[in-house]
Structure 1
Amino acid sequence: MHVLLVSSKFDGEIELRYDENGVLEKFENRAKLEPAMLKWFLDYFPLTTGVLTWMIDNTKTLRLKDVPIDITFASFWERYNRKINRKRCEPLYDKLDESEKVKCIMAIKQYDFFVQLHNRAKMDPENWLKRYGWETEWSKIK
């Protein structure tokens, strides 16, 4: 989940990105917050999507704007970060429908964690695409 937090009580926005478990993984403040608003925000800092939902439900001025995920091939290529066989990978990626592209990109972080944790070699991006690597539940493999 990737959102911008906006309000009529401050100028600018606060960017929040949560992982697949609903835990905050990125925070960027691009808002001009008055001291009282900053104190309130820090007191209720949205470390999880549950806290964020509570914040939105219990205030009248906070709103969320969804930030769509970038599902271009360039985004996949950068996130996968194993630059091998680009010419063969691009047509494979382009054949995926929009929901498959989202799943493909979102699973990369979990796969990278698996590779690091188990000291395994990362598959080439071509194999990731051919074998639908995003469909494997990497977190459940021992």
Structure 2
Amino acid sequence: MIKRFLITSKNFFGHVEVAYGINEMVSVIDFSDCSMLPNQRQPFKEAVPVLFSAFEDFVKQYNLTAVEAEYEVSFNDFWNGYGKKINKKRCEPIWKKMSKTEQVLCVTGLPAYHRYRQRLNKWQYDPDTYLKDKMWENEWNKLHS
């Protein structure tokens, strides 16, 4: 299960989003909704534990507040993240039939898929094929590494 946290601190305004994927490893650190300066972001990233099991200690050690939030993605998150903009009318009905968990896994699986394609100079599947065939379930990181 993906866990998503909004982290606040007296040291910055707004929040930092930290998410852990199904493998319980950090998958997202998003600074877009906080006032943290660029030179503060790298040390923060380095302090965030890679494994979820150490997250609670991290929050305590740095005197942070972490609130768990539901992790949702939209069709536009998929559409913009996928990049190949064809067959939108075929994609939307497939997306709507997917569970929220499948939608999140689909979007969070895109970076590994894109790395796989770039490594092998592979052409990109049409987005409706990616959705229909649940290609995010492939182990793109392990293939041809």
Normalised TM-score (structure 2): 0.72
Q: What stretches of structure 2 of length at least 5 have no aligned partner?
A: none
Larger Rg belongs to: 1
The number of aligned residues is 134
Matched, 1:56 2:47: no
Change over 3 Å in CA distance of 1:44–1:52 after alignment to 2? farther
Structure 1 residue 64: deviation in Å? 1.3
| Deviation per residue, 1:113-134 (Å, 9 max, x gap) | 1101111111110110111101
1:65-80 map, 5 Å:
65-66=67-68, 68-80=70-82
In the other structure, the counterpart of 1:30 is 34
| Percent of aligned pairs sharing the same letter | 25
Change over 3 Å in CA distance of 1:42–1:96 after alignment to 2? closer
Change over 3 Å in CA distance of 1:68–1:116 after alignment to 2? farther
| Deviation per residue, 1:26-51 (Å, 9 max, x gap) | 44583479xxxx7xx94895254457
Q: What stretches of structure 1 of length at least 5 have no aligned partner?
A: none
In the other structure, the counterpart of 1:103 is 105
RMSD across aligned positions (CA):
3.2
Among 5, 8, 15, the residue aligned to 1:6: 8
Paired with 1:43 and 1:105, the residues of 2 have a C-alpha distance of 25
Change over 3 Å in CA distance of 1:12–1:127 after alignment to 2? same
Normalised TM-score (structure 1): 0.73
> What amino acid is aligned across from residue 64 of structure 2 in structure 1?
L
Paired with 2:94 and 2:11, the residues of 1 have a C-alpha distance of 45
In the other structure, the counterpart of 1:15 is 16
In the other structure, the counterpart of 1:85 is 87
In the other structure, the counterpart of 1:125 is 127
Structure 1 residue 80: deviation in Å? 0.9
- The answer as to whether partners of 2:48 and 2:58 remain within 8 angstroms in 1 is no
- The answer as to whether partners of 1:17 and 1:27 remain within 8 angstroms in 2 is no
Structure 1 residue 22: deviation in Å? 2.3
Paired with 1:73 and 1:24, the residues of 2 have a C-alpha distance of 19
Q: Which moved more, 1:50-59 or 1:115-124?
A: 50-59
